[in-house]
Amino acid sequence: MKKGLLILVIIGVCIGLMAGPAFGANLKGMKYGIFKILGIQADHTYHCADNVCWSWTGGESGGSYISYTASSRGNYTKSRCTSTNWGCRFVYAVQGVCHQETNRGLYTGGTNISRGGVGGYWLTGPTFGTYGEWASWTTCRTACWLW
């Protein structure tokens, strides 16, 4: 009886580790100003899941919360994947910038930075799309099982 219960507990823990947190990861977008040209602020952005942050396009600490990006429905593993898996890398300033990478990380939580007052998103959003150039986003979704 005890051996059977132990096996069930081990299986449950393994399934839980593969699925991620039971109630979803707490996702949020962060930003900090990188420069100002003619009075127009440009912000670097990155994303966090359960207070662990990632960005292969630049810094991942020292920022402030981006409004409207919080979600408790995200997936920690998949959010992390969008900034650590080589299948999600893109040619910077050709297929996207940090804004698109941040949106990829926030994807599983159903949020993005479009309403958060991010400096420069008025230009990068229409130029590269919400998640970056289509082919690179398709590759990333496949690499991170975001379908």
Handedness of CA 102, 59, 136, 73 (dihedral sign): negative
Q: Which of 34, 97, 35 is nearest to 62 (CA)?
A: 34
Residues 115 and 112: their CA atoms lie apart, in Å, by 8
Question: What confidence category does residue 108 fall into, taking pLDDT thresholds of 50, 70 and 90?
Answer: very high
pLDDT, tens digit, 9 for 90 and up, residues 1-38:
566 544 544 454 444 444 444 468 999 999 999 988 88
Question: What confidence category does residue 147 fall into, taking pLDDT thresholds of 50, 70 and 90?
Answer: confident
Task: Output the pLDDT for position 142.
Answer: 97
Beta strands in the chain, from DSSP E residues, in sequence order: 25-37, 40-49, 52-54, 64-65, 71-74
Domain coordinates of the chain in residue numbers? 24-143
pLDDT, tens digit, 9 for 90 and up, residues 46-87:
999 999 999 999 899 999 999 999 999 999 999 999 999 999
Mean pLDDT over 82-94 rounds to 96
Overall pTM surpassing 0.85 (yes/no): no
Residues 138 and 95: their CA atoms lie apart, in Å, by 12
Q: For strand 40-49 and strand 25-37, is the pairing parallel, antiparallel, or unpaired?
A: antiparallel
Task: Output the pLDDT for position 7.
Answer: 52
Quote the tokens at residue 146: 């975001």
Residues 32 and 27: their CA atoms lie apart, in Å, by 17
